[in-house]
Amino acid sequence: MSGLDLAAFVRDVPDFPTEGIVFKDVMPLIADPAAFRETIDRLAEWAGPRAPDIILGAEARGFIFGGALAYALGCGFVTARKPGKLPWETVEARYELEYGSDSLEIHVDSINAGARVIVLDDVLATGGTARAKIELVHGLGGVVVGALFVIELSFLNGRDRIPGTEVHALITYS
């Protein structure tokens, strides 16, 4: 790994999507070949020893990091999607966002009982999304072996919403 300052590739967008939110835009990070590779390498460094069977990522940015991470680790990837997007039978969990509320669905047969799962997202904000994903995994009998993020907004105390889960982020804003 090159020791790149990954935070230098994250753009702050004030008042997006609503006033008062400073949106952490990871598009420059994804667009830069060295920064994207290093991000995936660093995620894999933490995730690898936890021996996940599945990376569970929510749309849309969770798909980008999660798919690449699953490939790097040689494990599977499961998508958590907004209601009505998945074609097969689903289970649903509702969650609160920093700016609103929503729900996520996964396929009922996407996680086997006992499967080791890492939930992954670009940003840990209030922790509502991660909590919903953890609920979905537990509902199907899976084991959550970590919650992994590119960015943590630690001032929103998202970790408090997912007690009992080991949390790691590459970049922390406090």
Q: Is the dihedral of CA 40, 46, 51, 52 positive or negative?
A: negative
Smallest distance from ligand AMP to CB 92, Å: 16
| Placement of tokens 């992954």 in the chain | 120
Q: Classify strands 11-14 and 22-25 as parallel, antiparallel or unpaired.
A: antiparallel
Annotation marks residue 61 as catalytic: yes
Helix locations, 86-161, DSSP H? 128-139
Distance between CA atoms of residues 52 and 20, nearest Å: 37
Distance between CA atoms of residues 120 and 110, nearest Å: 16
Residue range at the interface with ligand AMP (CB under 6 A); choices 40-48, 65-73, 79-87, 121-129? 121-129
Residue range at the interface with ligand AMP (CB under 6 A); choices 1-9, 21-29, 85-93, 133-141? 21-29
123: contact with ligand AMP by CB under 6 A: yes
* φ, ψ at 53 (rounded to 5°): -85, -30
Site mask, ligand AMP, residues 36-65, x = CB under 6 A? ----------------------x--x----
Distance between CA atoms of residues 104 and 139, nearest Å: 13
21: contact with ligand AMP by CB under 6 A: yes
173: contact with ligand AMP by CB under 6 A: no
Binder of ligand AMP out of 124, 140, 144, 170 (CB under 6 A)? 124
Binder of ligand AMP out of 6, 10, 24, 136 (CB under 6 A)? 24
Contact between 90 and 119 (Cβ < 8 Å): no
Judged by beta carbon, residue 103 or residue 112, the one nearer ligand AMP is 103
Which residues are known to be catalytic? 61, 98
Q: Residues in the site for ligand AMP, rule: CB under 6 A?
A: 21-24, 58, 61, 97-98, 121-130, 153, 158
